[in-house]
Structure 1
Amino acid sequence: MANSDKNKQYERSDNDQVSQKKHQRASERRVVNSIAGWIIVIIVILILTFGVLGYNYVQESLQPLNSNNHQEIEVKIPVGSSNKEIASRLQQKKIIRSATVFNYYVKSHNYTDFQAGYYTFKPSMTLTQIVARLQKGGSSEHIAQPDHNVLVREGVTLEQIGDAISKKTPYSKKQFLALMKDQKFLKQLQNLYPQLLESTMKSKNVRYHLEGYLFPATYPYYNGMSLKKLVTMMVAKTNQELTPYYEQIKTKDLTVQQALTLASLVEREGVTEKDRRMIAGVFFNRLDENMPLQSDISVMYVLNKHKRSLTRKETRVKSPYNLYKNAGFGPGPFNSPSINSVLAVLNPAERDKGYLYFVANLKTGKVYYSTNYSQHLETISSIGQ
């Protein structure tokens, strides 16, 4: 009887434990279900929130970046740019809000005919306006105002051009002059402009092959422009200016190097068109007589300084550029001549008078011409020089 009571007691205890466990599991399930419910609610809220934010972001990105900003901003679209790359450039230049949205907009409208070139856009433009401009096509040259202008004056040397570049661009004179010695770059230019540069690249003992080949003009510099591109622009300008005269240079039995060498001397020796043509005639007469040109400009180039007059010792300085000591044209140009000086060389005046000497009055600028040395000395004495 006692054992029967104990067994009943154990059964009740086991049943109680089972009941407690069931209750505990039910309680845990309620907690898990509650947590899962909250997680679902939070996820739904997040989805809705991000959906609203994303929708607002897309809608906002479809609008102009700044409706009140009408500033023209230049953008270059390289050949072969994908829509994604174009969108990235527009965002970097602060033309659009989002490259991602722009790319989506372009894809959704199936726009695929964008063209390369230089464009100007405004932050106030809509995506539709931007797309229309990209479809129309850009310019092959810069459109926007340059950040700086580099002035190459008539009759300046490469050393002086280096000074001008260092003042208006991030590039130093040292970098510029190093580029003037870069044979790979010079070869690239020769391939671009063979008619212009063939003779200078063949010349020996040349200080700089591009001396005389950077045309006097004002050149635009844009932030980010490479030094090579700036120099190429200057060489291209020279080629453009000389193209109408290549045949005439050849007819006169001159190379481009020789024509520019004489033009660089004429540029600095004469002021008026008449004097430049007559001085050119003197140089040709001396060349025909196998006489040294004896131009002070050549010695000043060797000495790398400008002087009103030279000493006898200076005229004997040893250099292939010294045209007091060496007959002929010398290695090459001494500065960047103007087109007027080139034309003076191609159209020399009064050669038939046989002038072999000239001297300028340093006070009045008047130039006197002589056929022989004794007459030349008399003229110098008469003007007190």
Structure 2
Amino acid sequence: MPSQDKQPKRRAKHVEVRQDARDLADKRVAEKKIVDKIVYWIVGILVVLILGGVLIGALYVHTALQPIDRHSTKKVDISVPLGASNEQIGETLVKQKVIKNAKIFTYYVKSHNFSAFQAGFYELKPSMSVKEVANQLSNGGSQISKHRVLVKEGITIDQIGDQIAKKTPYSKKAFLKLMKDQTFAKQLAKKYPDLLASSMAKKNVRYHLEGYLYPATYNYYDGLSLKGLVRQMVAQENTYMKSYYKKIKSEGLTVQQVLTLASLCEREGNNASDRAKIAGVFFNRIAAGMPLQSDISVMYALNTHKTHLYNKDTAVKSPYNLYKNKGYGPGPFNSPSIASVHAVLNPKSRAMGYLYFVADLKTGKVYYSQNFEEHTSTNTGIQTKNNSVN
């Protein structure tokens, strides 16, 4: 009976299939347990890493908010320019070693609702926390720096170098080297073409910025670069000269020529009236093809100051010697005041035909002459009078 012989075999096969299914299920359960353990470990590690990162981050922020050196007695002058952002202020504070981290500073002032800090000068310390720094900045600073560089009317770049060496960490040598830096001068000329184009076009110029460093008092603060200080001076010159550019052009002059005559008038005259008359004399001499014959030009050529000049002095070989050379020369001889610029552009008494002038050094009075004979006579009279007084 064939049907009865095949039935046990079918049952055996069913049993084997069920056993395989159970084995597979058991295997999957075992694998799932392994996977779960791996997942748990990974999640656990990630949690530990995240918590560790949070703790490290919190510690980093906490440390960054603390003083650089709690025991430091150092004081640092910080300048906050008008319109400076919190990010820029933070970078300055880091650069000057007042705080540790600019981003943390920015985060702190933002999260604590500090409003925009006022422009001014601040005296801060490395012993201050970010909170203390922010509080001081919010109180407002001084409008005057303790360190000020005075550029007087009529002083030369050489003399400005003395002031910079006295009032800043920069040496006179470094300043004069910068004044010779053609790349720096060209950068300034590109920014202020109306002001500096005529200077850059001249040859045999000792310093292209002579006459272009505006006479004023400049605040110096720690971290201000030498270039930054000079840029302030040139920017000021451009600001005050702007209103004269149109007139200079209409008169057929260049800025270089105007500042050259202004620098001579600055030193030759004692008041606005005399400077305007002296400017008239210079223009008359140029029109007549005569050299300007200013003692100021000779002293600049000699790079010295003298009360009296001798023939050997006025014969010095230099493009700046306007006893020998006609015209305006290479450029300005000092930093003239804006009043002297105004005098040059508004000369007086040209119609009088004055070609000479001489000043009484004791009284300061200036005498004008139309010819050499009259000039010699006046000069002799002044010397005789002063000698008799002595």
State TM-score, norm by structure 2.
0.70
Give 2:94's aligned amino acid: R
Q: Which amino acid is 1:166 matched to?
A: A
Alignment of 1:111-190 (within 5 A): 145-190=144-189
CA contact (8 A) 2:276 2:344 kept: yes
Per-residue CA distance 1:245-290 (angstroms, 9 max, x = gap): 1111111111000000000000000001111110000000001111
For 1:14-53, list aligned pairs within 5 A. none
| Counterpart residue identity of residue 205, structure 1 | N
Q: CA deviation at 1:145?
A: 3.9
CA contact (8 A) 1:281 1:351 kept: yes
SS at match of 2:379: helix
In 2: Cα distance, 1:87 partner to 1:201 partner: 34
Residue 306 of structure 1 corresponds to: 305
In the alignment, structure 2 segments of 5+ residues that lack a partner are 1-50, 385-390
1:234 counterpart = 2:233: yes
1:225 alignment partner, SS class: coil
How much does 1:144 deviate? 5.6
Displacement after TM superposition at 1:74 (Å): 3.9
Give, as a single letter, the amino acid of the residue that structure 1 aligns with 2:348.
Answer: A
Work out whether residues 75 and 90 of structure 1, in 8 Å CA contact, stay in contact via their aligned partners in 2.
no
State the Cα deviation string for residues 93-134 of structure 1 (Å, max 9, x = none).
25xx98897677679x599x989987969869859976x96x
1:285 matches 2:290:
no
Residue of structure 2 equivalent to 1:295: 294
| Structure 1 residue 93 corresponds to structure 2 residue 98 | yes
Q: How far apart are residue 306 of structure 1 and its match?
A: 1.2
Query: What corresponds to 1:377 in structure 2?
Result: 376
**Hey, what does 2:346 align to over in structure 1?**
347
Partner of 1:332: 331
SS in 2 for 1:384: helix
Residues 65, 131 of structure 2: 8 Å contact kept: no
User: Could you tell me whether the CA contact under 8 Å between 2:156 and 2:210 is conserved in 1?
Assistant: yes
- 3-state SS of paired residue (1:383): helix
| SS of equivalent residue, structure 1 residue 149 | strand
2:270 match:
271
User: How many pairs are equivalent?
Assistant: 319
Instruction: Give the deviation of 1:381 after TM superposition.
Output: 1.5
SS in 1 for 2:208: coil
Deviation at 1:238, TM superposition (A): 0.6
CA distance in 2, matches of 1:283, 1:150: 32
Q: 1:378 to 1:364 in 2, by over 3 A?
A: same
How far apart are the structure 2 equivalents of 1:59 and 1:166? 38
Structure 1, unaligned runs of 5 or more: 1-46
Q: Does the C-alpha gap of structure 1 residues 102 and 377 become closer, same or farther in structure 2, counting only changes over 3 Å?
A: closer
State whether residues 81 and 116 of structure 1, in contact with CA within 8 Å, keep that contact through their aligned partners in structure 2: no
Q: Which residue of 1 aligns with 2:362?
A: 363
| Cα 1:90/1:205, change in 2 over 3 Å | closer
Distance 1:150 1:319 in 2: 31
Given that residues 102 and 127 in structure 1 are in contact (C-alpha distance below 8 angstroms), is that contact kept between their aligned partners in structure 2?
no
Instruction: Quickly say closer, same or farther: Cα 1:381–1:92, change in 2 above 3 A.
Output: closer
Cα deviation, residue 90, structure 1: 10
The 1-side partners of 2:272 and 2:96 are apart by 54
379 and 93 in structure 1: CA distance in 2 versus 1, 3 angstrom threshold: same
Give the match for residue 36 of structure 1.
Answer: none
The CA distance in 2 between the partners of 1:128 and 1:327, in whole Å, is 60
- Deviation at 1:364? 1.4
Counterpart CA distance in 1 for 2:246 and 2:271 is: 25
Amino acid at match of 2:315: R
TM-score by length of 1: 0.71
* Superposition CA RMSD, Å: 4.2
- Counterpart residue number, 1:194: 193
* Identical pairs, percent: 54
Counterpart residue number, 1:5: none
Contact 1:266/1:279 (8 A) holds in 2: yes
